[in-house]
């Protein structure tokens, strides 16, 4: 893992103005992920935080959270659980709704994805307003699991999303 992972991440981000709508600056992580050593450093940076946590499952949030959560789950010897946008999962689901900077959304997780008592790490790409993270915590609670960690690649500190996550301690590899 590089000595200054935060600097590596910041250098690998690309700002895309006015996406998905005018006034929003989208943080594109694909340049960072295209570099194998950077991708490996990011996965190792997240997984290292939870090596001693006895993790049963890593929840990945659609869509870019999937990219990070699956290899983190492998690194921790845990299962991977996808959290998808409403209507994308074929069986009974738990659902949670939240507000974004530019609208609202609903996410779902299969109702049988976690066993009661499961120890879960939630992984996403960006912590912005905290709505997606709050919804993921709600899904874990509905399934009877325990959130033992919440990690993101990048936190947009100016949006103060961690204020919505009062019952978990968000961990960001970089803050912009």
Residues recognised as catalytic: 64, 101
Q: Tokens at residue 121, please?
A: 């790490």
Cα 174 to chain centroid, rounded: 13
Strand 103-110, strand 79-85: pairing: antiparallel
- DSSP notation for 137-176: HHHHHHTT-EEEEEEEEEE-GGG-GGGG-TTS-EEEEEE-
């Amino acid at each position: 893992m590089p000595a200054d992972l935060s600097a590596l991440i910041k250098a690998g981000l690309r700002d895309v103005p006015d996406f998905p709508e005018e006034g929003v600056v989208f943080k594109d992580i694909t340049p960072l992920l295209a570099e194998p050593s950077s991708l490996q450093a990011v996965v190792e940076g997240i997984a290292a935080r939870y090596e001693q946590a006895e993790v049963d499952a890593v929840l990945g949030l659609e869509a870019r959270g999937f990219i990070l959560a699956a290899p983190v789950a492998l690194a921790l010897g845990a299962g991977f659980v996808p959290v998808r946008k409403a209507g994308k999962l074929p069986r009974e689901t738990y659902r949670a709704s939240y507000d974004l900077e530019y609208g609202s959304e609903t996410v779902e997780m299969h109702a049988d994805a976690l066993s009661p008592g499961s120890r879960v790490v939630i992984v996403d790409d960006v912590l912005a307003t905290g709505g997606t993270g709050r919804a993921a915590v709600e899904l874990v609670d509905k399934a009877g699991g325990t959130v033992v960690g919440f990690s993101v690649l990048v936190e947009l500190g100016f949006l103060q999303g961690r204020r919505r996550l009062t019952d978990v301690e968000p961990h960001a590899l970089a803050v912009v």
